[in-house]
């Protein structure tokens, strides 16, 4: 009963990392672009175009980058598994001793370690070596398409806020509205991600607000300087 009621967060790491990274990047990067443009240009059409371009380009870039990155991880995992399968076929005794040695190093007695290695090998030798020797399991296994879709969707959702603000906010106060709404939603995003991942909410919110403010402040300064130079 106790085991069934335990809550674990590690099985959320894969999709949570991609979703949080995508939403945070979508919100922060698009807002930063809009703030930079708004600080240099007072035309709403230009600001809206910048927000839309940032949202579309960023979402596609995030998805492509995540897919390529996780695909590389998947290729490495497949190569390791293929090599391990070949070794199990060619030298099963040596692989059995290697597996038992792993359990010994974790604190299991030599006799028990060999017994565990034998029983797990009889059940599924490749699975045992993948999990305990290579560190590959169902939770950590690379899923490129899932990661890419999560990144694309979450980036678009995050970028939607600055895009809507660029449509509705007063043009002469665009920078302040963009910053205010973005900080609020960055705080919400930080709290939700911390809650979902089981970490401390205060630290996550403070971290995301600090770096968000820094990013938007720098782009606003650049936009302002560019606008002054152009004028």
Alpha helices, DSSP H only, in 91-200?
92-105, 110-132, 144-168, 174-197
- Contacts of residue 133, Cβ cutoff 8 Å, sequence gap at least 6: 84, 98, 99, 102
Cβ–Cβ contacts within 10 Å for residue 69, how many?
A: 15
Distance of CA 65 to the CA centre of its chain: 11
CA distance 162 to 193: 20
What does the CA dihedral 31, 33, 34, 40 come to, rounded to 10 degrees? 140
Both structure tokens of 25 = 């990047």
Flag whether pLDDT at 142 surpasses 70: no
How far CA 112 is from CA of 81, 128, 213, in Å, comes to 26, 16, 55
Flag whether pLDDT at 139 surpasses 70: no
Both structure tokens of 13 = 């790491």
Q: Tell me the mean pLDDT in the region 142-170.
A: 88
Residues 64-97 pLDDT 10s = 988 888 888 778 878 877 887 887 777 878 888 8
pLDDT value at residue 10: 47
Backbone Cα Rg of the chain: 25
pLDDT band at 137 (very low <50, low <70, confident <90, very high): low
CA distance 203 to 197: 13
Residue with tokens 């040596």: 94
Residue with tokens 């949570």: 16
Q: Tell me the mean pLDDT in the region 94-118.
A: 80
Residues 14-31 pLDDT 10s = 556 667 777 888 988 899
pLDDT value at residue 53: 92
- Contacts of residue 72, Cβ cutoff 8 Å, sequence gap at least 6: none
Flag whether pLDDT at 121 surpasses 90: no
Both structure tokens of 76 = 């490495």
pLDDT band at 159 (very low <50, low <70, confident <90, very high): very high
């Amino acid at each position: 009963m106790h085991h069934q009621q335990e809550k674990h967060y590690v099985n959320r790491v894969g999709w949570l990392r991609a979703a949080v990274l995508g939403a945070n990047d979508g919100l922060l990067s698009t807002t930063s672009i809009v703030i930079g443009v708004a600080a240099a240009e007072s035309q709403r059409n230009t600001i809206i175009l910048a927000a839309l371009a940032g949202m579309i380009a960023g979402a596609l870039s995030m998805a492509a980058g995540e897919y390529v990155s996780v695909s590389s991880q998947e290729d490495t995992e497949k190569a390791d598994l293929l090599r391990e399968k070949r070794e199990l076929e060619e030298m099963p005794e040596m692989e059995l001793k290697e597996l038992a040695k792993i359990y010994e190093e974790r604190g299991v007695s030599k006799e028990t370690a060999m017994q565990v290695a034998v029983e797990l090998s009889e059940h599924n030798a490749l699975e045992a070596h993948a999990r305990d020797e290579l560190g590959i399991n169902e939770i950590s296994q690379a899923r490129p398409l899932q990661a890419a879709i999560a990144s694309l969707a979450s980036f678009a959702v995050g970028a939607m806020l600055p895009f809507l603000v660029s449509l509705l906010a007063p043009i002469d106060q665009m920078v302040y509205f963009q910053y205010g709404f973005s900080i609020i939603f960055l705080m919400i995003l930080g709290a939700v991600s911390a809650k979902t991942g089981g970490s401390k909410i205060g630290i996550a919110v403070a971290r995301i607000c600090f770096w968000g403010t820094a990013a938007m402040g720098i782009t606003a300064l650049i936009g302002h300087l560019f606008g002054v130079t152009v004028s």
